[in-house]
Amino acid sequence: METFVEALKKLKEGDVCFAHADHNPAHFDDAVRHDLADHGQHPYAAVITCGDSRVPPEHIFSVGLGSLFVIRNAGNVIGPFELGSAEYAAEHLQVPLILVLGHTHCGAVESTLAGGAGGHIKEITDEVKRAIGEETDPRKCEWLNARHSVKVLRDSEILSHLEKEGKVRIMAAIYDIETGEVTFDE
Ligand SMILES: [Zn+2]
């Protein structure tokens, strides 16, 4: 079982490898698949990120099967299903780290800055609007949005209790879609 510090170190090293190496060491082979099927999953982090196709968490952190519990939607916002999924990851899978990974050039943030959207997309842009308030700088808004999701996660009784006990840490980060680098909110 990894600690928060070990989990964060692995993510950082994986991102450096992704951003600067010409290969990805992640394993996706038969043996890993069978081992995980036989012994269950023991991911070392939960990553809540945007559905944007330019933001694939396993690639970004150079990991294969069984390493990350991934929760995705447009804008990495937190609603009841995301909250339940995060509680499951922390309480039942005992991940020591929940990372909210926003990213540069996020369409959900840009759409919110442009006045929001219709249909069910509005539920997302309304939530992003609550996060960014009157801020208009997209880069600042992406951070505000990721940090807002951290705050919503901490409103969970289960997660805040586990964080107070030192069993999980909840943190924001931003992925730069051009450089491949992740900046952690430490
Ligand atoms: Zn996005």
**Hey, how many other C-beta atoms are within 10 angstroms of the C-beta on 131?**
23
Cα–ligand 1 centroid distance for 24 (angstroms)? 23
DSSP assigned state of 29: S
Residues 142-183 have pLDDT tens digits of 999 999 999 999 999 999 999 999 999 999 999 999 999 999
Q: How far, in Å, from the CA of 139 to the mean position of ligand 1?
A: 12
Distance 38 CA to ligand 1 centre (A): 35
Confidence at residue 1, expressed as pLDDT on a 0 to 100 scale: 67
* Whole-number pLDDT of residue 24: 80
Angle in degrees, 0-180, between the axes of helices 80-91 and 138-154, rounded to the nearest 10: 60
How much distance in Å is there from the Cα of 71 to the middle of ligand 1?
A: 13
Would you give the end-to-end CA distance of the chain in angstroms?
22
- Pairing state between β 97-103 and 182-184: unpaired
Burial class (CB in 10 A: 0-12, 13-18, 19+), 21: exposed
Low-confidence ranges of the chain (pLDDT < 70): 1
Helix (H) or strand (E) holding 19: helix 4-20
Cα 129 from chain centre: 19
**Measuring CA to CA, which residue among 124, 57, 70 is closest to residue 98?**
70
- Ligand 1 centroid – CA 65 distance (Å): 23
Ligand 1 centroid to Cα of residue 36, in Å, is: 30
Calculate how far, in angstroms, residue 108's C-alpha sits from the geometric centre of ligand 1: 5
| Span from the CA of 80 to the centroid of ligand 1 (angstroms) | 19
Report the separation in Å between the CA atom of 55 and the middle of ligand 1, taken as the mean of its atom positions.
8
What's the CA gap between 91 and 112, in Å, rounded? 33
Strand bridging mode 169-175 / 97-103: parallel
Distance CA 11, CA 113 (A): 30
* CATH code for the structural domain at 4-184: 3.40.1050.10
CA 103–ligand 1 middle distance (angstroms): 6
Sign of CA pseudo-dihedral 91, 76, 170, 96:
positive
Would the CA dihedral through 55, 96, 151, 14 be positive or negative? negative
Output the CA 110–ligand 1 centroid distance in Å. 9
